[in-house]
Structure 1
Amino acid sequence: MNTPIQPELPRKPRPVVPPKLHHATFLTLKLDEMVRWYELVAGLTPVHYSDSAAWLTNDEANHRIALVAHPAIKRAVDKPISAGLHHTAFEYRNFDQWLDNYVRLREAGIVPFMSLDHGITMSLYYADPEGNGVEIQVDAFGDWEASKEWMWASREFAENPIGSFFDPDKLVEAREQGVSAEEIHQNARAGKYLPENPPADILLPEAY
């Protein structure tokens, strides 16, 4: 008697119920400085803070960033050109909140090392005290479904996924002149707010 051949079950390449991204953890030699920086830049405050670690959040989650100061940690070598995480990202709900935060940080002496209009987002890139990248962004469409569709279907994004560099001070000036957020986005994407010395590439700056 032949054993019937069982049909091959379909592969499930992803969880049926996918998990949500919850937090990122960093090893640090500058725990206190990192805690102060993330609170100033992104409103992340400690839920638990000890001599060797801190867990920070800026929303309902118990933590979004964890910082671990282990005695075995060594200073990173050639971090800007080493494989690994380039940046974490935080998003504002609207253009004015996003640009107001830029002005607030600028007045505190914290400025981005790179500013890009990606088409899907307008993004400011900062470096934390350990040289990790931190993106502060606003969705250019104000709607994830719309920006996701544009990213998937747009020839413009396919041809230029990195986007256009811009000078954020020129965005502040344009807003003060009454230019709308949508028009500022279109102008930035078209390269009308280029910085005087655009970055040569998108690599992180040297850690400081």
Structure 2
Amino acid sequence: MASDRRPRPIVRPKFHHTTFATLKLDEMVSFYEKIAGLEPVYYSENGAWLTNDEANHRIALLALPGLKAPSDKGHTAGLHHTAFEYANFDQWLDNYLRLKDEGIVPFLNLDHGMTMSMYYQDPEGNGVEIQVDAFGDWAAGREWMWASDEFGANPIGVYFDPDKIVAARTAGLGFSEIHKRTRNAEYEPAVKPEVFLPEMW
């Protein structure tokens, strides 16, 4: 018997943007410009719409009246982070060094297998992932996630110290070798942070 159930659209829409309500509009605009090159297309006292590509906006920031500060934000259900991806390893690592010079450092660094990822926090306490694809091919990474016993056994990933990654590149190692050694836990930090967002409020 034919079913009327339609579990997904025939034509799938592309993800376009994320919107945050904020008590720190100017700080948020400044942060997202620094972290990922997002610039305001429109910016007023009530909000800002930011983009870093051809879209009209990728992040919207709404300074709504009557907003309340969150409580225990790092340990409550909801959005954990948004993510941005660099095209190659050198761009990704150079961005880490650029941000470090600005005093902006990640609170968490994980090699997930299909990506190497650094996690930052915006001024409201929201997570921001800056990643590079380990395969250079989304189809290959997707297949690895689906089929790999390695990912199934540890979907969170392997912790790493980004300064050890920088040192490995300076010593002449390429991305493939660094990624392999990271997965073998050769660049782990002295202290492994929690995956929870650090509480900022």
Q: CA RMSD in A?
A: 0.9
Q: How does 1:38-117 map to 2 (within 5 A)?
A: 38-117=32-111
Say whether 1:205 aligns with 2:187: no
Q: In structure 1, the residue corresponding to 2:94 is in which secondary structure?
A: helix
The one-character-per-residue Cα deviations of 1:146-200 (angstroms, maximum 9, x if unpaired) are 000000000000001111100000000000000110010111111100111111x
Counterpart residue type for residue 207 of structure 1: M
CA distance in 1, matches of 2:170, 2:2: 63
Say whether 1:141 aligns with 2:135: yes
CA distance in 1, matches of 2:182, 2:200: 28
CA distance in 1, matches of 2:51, 2:161: 30
> Paired residue for 2:9?
15
Where does structure 1 differ by over 6 angstroms across 4 or more consecutive aligned residues? none
Tell me the TM-score normalized by structure 2. Answer: 0.98
Tell me the TM-score normalized by structure 1. Answer: 0.95
CA distance in 1, matches of 2:23, 2:150: 42
Matched residues, number: 201
- Decide which structure has the larger Cα Rg and report it: 1
- 2:158 aligned residue (164, 167, 173): 164
The one-character-per-residue Cα deviations of 1:92-115 (angstroms, maximum 9, x if unpaired) are 000000000000000110000000
Counterpart residue type for residue 156 of structure 2: I
- 1:196 aligned residue (166, 190, 197): 190
Shift of 1:127: 0.3
CA distance in 2, matches of 1:136, 1:9: 42
CA distance in 1, matches of 2:183, 2:79: 26
Structure 2: segments with no counterpart, 5+ residues? none
The one-character-per-residue Cα deviations of 1:44-99 (angstroms, maximum 9, x if unpaired) are 00000000100000000000000000111100000001110000000000000000
Shift of 1:10: 4.7
> Paired residue for 1:3?
none
Structure 1: segments with no counterpart, 5+ residues? 1-6
